[in-house]
């Protein structure tokens, strides 16, 4: 999944009820996130067992829910037990998360930026 750098990705720090659909997840976004749903950003939720995840976003006049359930194993989310607010991810981290990589083993690479002086 390639996303422009203007799109932010927010991971909920607390588990959500995966029975919620568009309206229920939209309500969670209003309650727990500082960005509005229509901002175009992605809002990522997971269940207690961490074997299901839903991503909610707004796209051209409607909300979209992306849902992934693992048949075996669990997603390796970053540790969020002591956090109250959402965690911001980048698109590489989200892709790694959805592909099943252990989030704690990922390292951020320093990107080279040209000298602007």
Q: What's the chain's average pLDDT?
A: 86
Q: Is residue 96 part of a domain?
A: yes
Count of structural domains within the chain: 1
Residue 41's pLDDT is: 94
Which residue range(s) make up the domain with 16? 9-73+84-104
Grouping H, G, I as helix, E, B as strand and the rest as coil, residue 65 is strand
Which whole-number Å values give the CA distances from 62 to 7, 31, 38, in the listed order? 17, 19, 9
Q: What confidence tens digit (pLDDT) does each residue in 94-113 have?
A: 988 898 887 667 666 666 77
Q: Is residue 38 part of a domain?
A: yes
42 close to 1: Cβ distance less than 8 angstroms: no
Residue 82: pLDDT over 80: no
Q: What confidence tens digit (pLDDT) does each residue in 21-69 have?
A: 999 999 999 998 888 999 989 999 999 999 999 999 998 889 999 999 9
Residue 9: pLDDT over 70: yes
Q: Is residue 115 part of a domain?
A: no
Among the listed residues 53, 65, 48, 43, the one whose alpha carbon sits nearest the alpha carbon of residue 100: 53
Q: Is residue 3 part of a domain?
A: no
Q: Is residue 99 part of a domain?
A: yes
Residue 96's pLDDT is: 87
Question: Distance of alpha carbon 28 from its chain centroid, rounded?
Answer: 13
Rounded to two decimals, the pTM is 0.83
Residue 92's pLDDT is: 84
């Amino acid at each position: 999944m390639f996303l422009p750098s203007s799109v932010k990705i927010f991971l909920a720090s607390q588990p959500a009820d995966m029975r919620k659909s568009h309206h229920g997840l939209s309500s969670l976004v209003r309650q727990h996130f500082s960005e509005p749903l229509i901002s175009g950003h992605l809002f990522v939720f997971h269940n207690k067992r961490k074997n299901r995840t839903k991503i909610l976003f707004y796209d051209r006049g409607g909300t979209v829910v992306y849902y992934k359930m693992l048949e075996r194993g669990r997603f390796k989310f970053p540790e969020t037990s002591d956090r109250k607010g959402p965690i911001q991810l980048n698109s590489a981290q989200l892709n790694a998360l959805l592909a099943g990589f252990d989030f704690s083993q990922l390292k951020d690479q320093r990107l080279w930026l040209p000298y602007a002086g």
